[in-house]
Structure 1
């Protein structure tokens, strides 16, 4: 839980944008009815959104509309959506070839969020679904993602992780782990996130750099980490390259 109270003015502004996304245009009266906000407050919010370019107003009486600038707010989400559309067939094919399940995960400040998965109910008895959040520092997908960030972005991300999750505990040691990931081209997590799970993971790139990571998840009682690397390391890195917008990019 955050240690501070939400900024009410920001919450109200976001509420107005959400309501306005449901139809083409609104009057102040209609927005008042939908949001329950006092009209003076609502007008100040609308004028602020006009000044920042997120909405426009025209007509008599005035009707308010979202502007194209609002598309900027969804650009990161669209980036993930495009990724998922691109990699889903490849992910399904890969699972049929190797039998072990895989996740594709994206970074979200203090966690990796599963964007696509081939896990099925009962598989491994360790179920994750799209939208599940997993740690960054102890998972293969987290390490594979962080290892290929530009250094300024990496240091900023590590600082945020330390503030929000107190991990990694040993930053210098963790930097050594990331250096090994860059040399190998993939990361390993040997029962560090879950005692029954070993994973290897590789980065996925788009035009903007590393955007996600894909893993292979295996049961620790069935396969050693060395066997997992030997049997699937090359296949995984090749798949990650195939999933990347720039095939062959390795960071």
Structure 2
């Protein structure tokens, strides 16, 4: 529900809400139609009476909306007693919403909240073939941002915190495949790792600690920490991390940020798992 609105329990009888943040009223017919669609997706048997009772909309209005949805191809009428059935066209209503959208919907407010608390810039990254790509960053909110933007920046799977956090906690077979992809490309950041032993050691340390840290020779001035968003063992959907200046952030603050990162990651993973 948008901020600044007053929740109504009876969709059919109460007047349209007026948002404190805008100068126009909600369109009540749209609200009723969406409520009926949501209700139809919950019901085992879609009938006029069941929807009317659940949504608080008069049966005559329910019939008109259901018949319109049938005409548009979202529902089909079974029989007078059998009620209605959803068609595959309802899937088109969520065609533009995918797992990455869900991840950002859950994690963006988390990242912003962490920056408001600690001031340092936090970011969310997801895997894109052979690199971790920053999907969202709170740099605009941070007074301590080290660059103007990292949005859509591709980071190494081998030397960067987001990459190590992903690689350390993803499935072993996926890790081996990603490592082969990384070795096949010519990415300057990957050359920071001088041996397979060094990388494997970084992975072991990451798994033991529960978080990843950027390899020290990647950047002498800043450091990054990242944790995985794992919705199941071996299934990492994203990483969330923070970047700070090495000589500015105090060890006590870094420790607090790590606690917050791990806690928020666990909550976010559960939220994403329930909604996928």
Q: TM-score range by the shorter chain?
A: 0.5 to 0.7
How far the C-alpha of 1:238 sits from its partner, in A, is 0.8
Using the alignment, how far apart are the partners of 1:109 and 1:239 within structure 2?
A: 26
| TM-score, structure 1 as length reference | 0.62
- What's 2:111 paired with? 91
Aligned partner (choices 135, 138, 142) of residue 115 of structure 1: 135
Superimposed CA distance per residue, residues 120-158 of structure 1 (whole angstroms, 9 cap, x where no aligned partner): 287434233432222222211110011011111101100
TM-score normalised to the size of structure 2?
A: 0.56
| Distance (whole Å) between structure 1 residues aligned to residue 205 and residue 271 of structure 2 | 22
Task: Classify 1:148/1:163 alpha carbon distance in 2 versus 1 (closer, same or farther; 3 Å).
Answer: same
Q: Aligned residue for 2:167?
A: 146
The one of 213, 227, 250 equivalent to 2:239 is: 213
Deviation at 1:227, TM superposition (A): 5.0
* Unpaired segments ≥5 residues, structure 2: 1-87
The farther-off stretch of 181-190 and 228-237 is 228-237
Bigger radius of gyration: 2
1:157 equivalent among 174, 178, 188: 178
The alignment yields a C-alpha RMSD, in angstroms, of 3.0
Residue 265 of structure 2 aligns to a residue whose secondary structure is: helix
Cα 1:190–1:221 change in 2 (3 A) is farther
Is 1:184 equivalent to 2:209 in the alignment? yes
Question: In structure 2, what is the equivalent of residue 136 of structure 1?
Answer: 157
Q: Classify 1:192/1:127 alpha carbon distance in 2 versus 1 (closer, same or farther; 3 Å).
A: farther
Matched, 1:236 2:268: no
Q: Could you tell me whether the CA contact under 8 Å between 1:199 and 1:215 is conserved in 2?
A: yes
1:126 corresponds to which of 147, 157, 161: 147
8 Å CA contact 2:124, 2:136 repeated in 1: yes
Q: Report the count of equivalent residues.
A: 177
Structure 1: 5+ residue runs without aligned partners?
A: 1-66
Kindly indicate whether the alpha-carbon contact (under 8 Å) linking 1:143 and 1:187 is maintained by their aligned counterparts in 2.
yes
Q: Report the 3-state secondary structure (helix = DSSP H, G, I; strand = E; otherwise coil) of the residue aligned with 1:138.
A: coil
**Are the equivalent residues in 1 in contact too, given 2:228–2:239 (CA < 8 A)?**
yes
